[in-house]
Amino acid sequence: MKNVPFYLIVPVAALLGSSVAALADDTTPSSQTPITDVRGQSVRERARPGYDAVGIRAGSFLILPKVDVSETYNDNIYATDTNTESDFVTAVSPSISVQSLWSRHALGLKAGLSQYWYASKTTEDRLDWNFGADGRLDVLRDTNITGSASYRQAHEDRGSANSPTSAAEPVEYNLFDSSVGLFQRFNRVTAQLKGTFDQYDYKNVALIGGGTLNEDSRDRNEYGGGLRLGYDLSPDTNVYAEGKLNKRSYDMSAPVDRNSNGYEAVIGSEFKLSRLAQGEVYVGYQRQTYDASYYSATSGLAYGAKVNWFVTPLTTVRLSAASTIEESIDPGASGYMSQKVGIGLDHELLRNLILSGDVSYENDDFGNISRQDDVTSALFGATYLLNNFFAVGVNYGIVDRSSNVPGADYTQNQVGFTLRGQL
């Protein structure tokens, strides 16, 4: 492993040192507060005095720093079908969030980075970082304006459908994303107007065996806008109709022209069924039309779901689903329709021991070519909360991709351990 850089030593040492000092006081008021089960809250949302981060109060802001240190064994780091390579991966991820405590309006700030070191395959080492802000301006009681902006440096996962197999290292890219929205209530009628702007900048990457893969052709701007009109059937249930438009504009039209325009029209509901379940579901139609005549339009069912089912005060079942039209790097494909469904479970075995499990299935259907991928994944873990300042976790994950394209299949197993420090 390479030497740990100074920019990681400072936040880790400061946070862990502060946590150890704080442990000297065992009469923290929160540690003496009894925990009460609340139906209508998920296991992950429930407050746990004595185990939740306390934070640092700075005037009317709450500062929440944390550091995750993990060690993971990956039996197929390149996500390949044959000649698989395994390695141990060490990651250090300090982050900080700042939240306003105002009675009106809201402001949040966040920043973080993650450094990954591979024990043997050091060309896979990478540094990801991000920072951003979001806020809400309460203009009137029934009117507010929201906004967010963030910037990040990230790398494509080796198992991604768009990860080039000829790359000697993970592809790096920068992403700027932003949004602004207006919400207005007219008695039981609600209206939401939202606009988004995302900018992708991909970096050239070395090729296996020498040379460079030019990734500039993937640079693009994505513009989006949407209007949602809803009606409150009850204080806990809102039904709505929503329309969205998007424009995907690439910096280069060669070697292929991927510029496109699309729309989505759905009906849905945000709901809370007593103390049994809450969430959102929607269904409709979506279509993406490409400027290049050699690409046919991609269209199909649009749907989504994010629902928490509170089976018992100690058990939450999570249901999710999404259907989206994604971009592709295959020169023959216009893009691909991604359809994904998943189910997860969180169980509070002890007050400070949380068991979790997630299983998902994804189908990727590529336009203009015959490629279809089926991706099945599962993740199981346990988190043990030591106190307000420390937690440890173990997890096991498996991803299996089955494709009708030779060489695109892979199975990847990962098992890891994480130590978290927080204030």
Q: Nearest 5°: phi and psi at 124?
A: -85, -10
Mean pLDDT of 7-34: 43
**DSSP letter assigned to residue 46:** S
Angstrom distance (rounded) from CA 18 to CA 229: 48
SS3 category, 219: coil
Q: Which of 7-21, 79-93, 394-408 has the lowest mean pLDDT?
A: 7-21
**Phi, psi for residue 162 in degrees, rounded to 5:** -105, 10
Mean pLDDT on 53-74 = 96
Is residue 12 pLDDT above 70, yes or no? no
Tokens of residue 45, six digits: 């949302």
Residue type, 279: G
State the average pLDDT for the chain.
Answer: 90
CB 393 within 8 A of CB 418: yes
The SS3 assignment for 22 reads helix
Q: Answer whether residue 358 shows pLDDT above 70.
A: yes
**Weakest-pLDDT range from 30-44, 271-285, 394-408, 409-423:** 30-44
pLDDT for the residue 255:
82
Q: Is the peptide bond before 5 cis (omega within 30 degrees of 0)?
A: no
Whether 160 and 170 have beta carbons less than 8 Å apart is answered as: no
Predicted local confidence at residue 40, as pLDDT:
73
Spatial CB neighbours of 396, under 8 Å, sequence gap ≥ 6: 379, 380, 381, 413, 414, 415, 416
What are 28-60's pLDDT values in tens digits?
A: 334 344 445 565 788 988 889 999 999 999 999
Whole-number percent of the chain with pLDDT over 70: 91
| Domains, in order of start, for the chain | 6-422 (2.40.160)
- What is the pLDDT confidence band of residue 197, given thresholds at 50, 70 and 90? very high
Q: What is the DSSP letter of 6?
A: H
CA distance 64 to 147: 21
| Residue labelled with tokens 């490409």 | 290
How does pLDDT run across 247-279, given as a tens digit for each residue? Answer: 999 999 878 899 999 999 999 999 998 789 999
- 3-state class (DSSP) for residue 16: helix
Amino acid 109: pLDDT: 97
Return the structure tokens found at 352.
């400070």
Among candidate residues 382, 273, 367, 351, the one with its CA nearest the CA of residue 37: 351
pLDDT score of 18 = 44
Q: What is the pLDDT of residues 107-149, one digit of tens each?
A: 999 999 999 999 999 999 999 999 999 999 999 999 999 999 9
Euclidean distance between CA atoms 158 and 175, whole angstroms: 18
Looking at residue 17, its pLDDT comes to 47
- pLDDT tens for 143-184 read 999 999 999 999 999 999 999 988 999 999 999 999 999 999
pLDDT, tens only, 330-353 = 989 999 999 999 999 999 999 999
Structure tokens that stand for 240 in this block = 């709505």
State which amino acid sits at residue 307: V
**pLDDT higher for 244 or 20?**
244
CA nearest neighbour of 263 among 306, 304, 222, 225:
225
The residue among 263, 242, 156 whose CA lies nearest residue 193 is: 242
Q: What is the mean pLDDT of residues 298-309?
A: 96
Which pLDDT score, from 0 to 100, does residue 297 have? 94
> Picking from 14-23, 42-51, 317-326, 405-414, which range would have the lowest pLDDT averaged per residue?
14-23
- pLDDT of residue 193 exceeding 50: yes
Classify strands 126-140 and 143-155 as parallel, antiparallel or unpaired: antiparallel
- Assigned token pair, 148: 């967010």
Enter the tokens of residue 174: 């920068």
Average pLDDT of the segment spanning 81-87: 94
